[in-house]
Chains A and B, each alone.
Chain A
Amino acid sequence: MTTRNKPFVLLIVLLGAMLFLGATAAASSFINVQNPETVRQNTPLLVPPILAPPGTDGYIEQATGERITAMDDRPVAQLRDPAAAGVGASLAVNFPDLQRTSDEDTIYYAVLASIRYSGEKHTVLVTTARPSADAAQIPTAFGSETVRLTNGQSAWVSKGDPGDLPNRVVLLQGDLIITIAGDLDLQKLSELAAQVIVEIP
């Protein structure tokens, strides 16, 4: 190696090390999320269901314009400005009873909170979930396509699900899985996903 080439070789080695460290950091985060585009045949990723309570029972109406917090210490993901997306007319909150997980369950996703925002024409659901230790380790796809939000964060989108909230954007924050589902198109839901905040008491 000539002295003249040394800086270039060092730069390449440095870049390689940074890429390796970045990949390692992503793989060792709280949740083993993988991009569906990278999957090879015969090595599937686990596909969780939409992480929201089924149906519309258990929701309690709350005043709009206030931060939503839980009575206990669970974090609650919510929209900073639901009115901007036309879903700020009313909201209802569901805090599932977290004592109800069975001992036989090993791979599961606890739904900590679910907020249903409604406007004149559209409905958006924002949910906060946390995987079990086993579920967090399994390579998982939270959508069919990887996107980058306007705030630079990675997210995963799905569309055409059955039910009245067919489109979905999922993003991670620490060990939390935040789902934004609704009857808006994916572009609008992605814009809403970029304005999600997590309220921790």
Chain B
Amino acid sequence: MTNVKPLFKRLLLLSFLVGFVIIAAIPVGAASWNVWSQGDCAGGYPKGASTLSWSGYSSSDSGSSWGWLWYWTGSSWSQRASGFGSASGSTNAAVANTVAAHQTGNWTQTGGHTATFFSGQRNSQGNIFSCP
């Protein structure tokens, strides 16, 4: 009879441990965000997009993207267009679109991104693409 109490304690502890493992194993949707820029010359003219996408945050959260389209003149990178986009919600994307007049040569898009769920500005650099 003297061993009942320790046995009960062990069973209680074991049940807590099992419960903890089960709770820990339940997948919880983690919040995440990502930034990127990209561009192309599809359709015959240079265009780009800078994107901040996120999921799993509060419905009151928001984000903004600024995009800049750059042209390589042969000796310098020159800004030829800029754009802005913003969005809010628990899962969404803020996209800044840019477009410029056609010019043969190399182009690239860069982006600056801010949000209520991170501090400061995050930047993105797109691919270098060419317009024939």
**B114 within 8 Å of A by Cβ?**
yes
B70 contacts the other chain (CB 8 A):
yes
Q: Are B125 and A97 in contact (CB under 8 A)?
A: no
CB-based contact B119/A49 at 8 Å:
no
Interface size class on chain A is: 35 or more
The answer to whether A109 and B76 touch (CB under 8 A), given A48-B110, A49-B70, A49-B110, is yes
Residues of B within 8 A of A141 (CB): 112, 121, 123
Is B32 part of the contact surface with A, judged by Cβ < 8 Å? no
B: contact size bracket: 20 to 34
Contact B75 A41 (CB under 8 A): no
Kindly state the separation between the CA atoms of A170 and B90 in the bound complex, as whole angstroms: 34
Residue pair B112, A47 in contact (C-beta under 8 Å): yes
Let me know if B45 is at the binding interface, CB within 8 A.
Answer: no
Q: How distant is B61 from chain A, measured CB to nearest CB, in Å?
A: 11
- List which A63-112 residues lie within 8 A (CB) of chain B: 96-102, 105, 107-111
Contact of A36 among B62, B64, B121 (CB under 8 A): B121
> In the complex the two chains form, what is the Cα distance from A10 to B35 in whole Å?
47
Which residues of A does B touch, CB under 8 Å?
Answer: 35-42, 44-51, 53-55, 96-102, 105, 107-111, 132, 135, 141, 143-144, 158, 161-163
The list of the 6 closest CB pairs from A to B, nearest first, reads: A100-B74, A39-B121, A108-B78, A96-B75, A105-B78, A37-B120
Beyond known contacts A102-B73, A144-B122, A162-B128: 8 more, CB 8 A cutoff: A49-B77, A101-B75, A102-B78, A108-B73, A135-B79, A141-B123, A158-B123, A158-B125
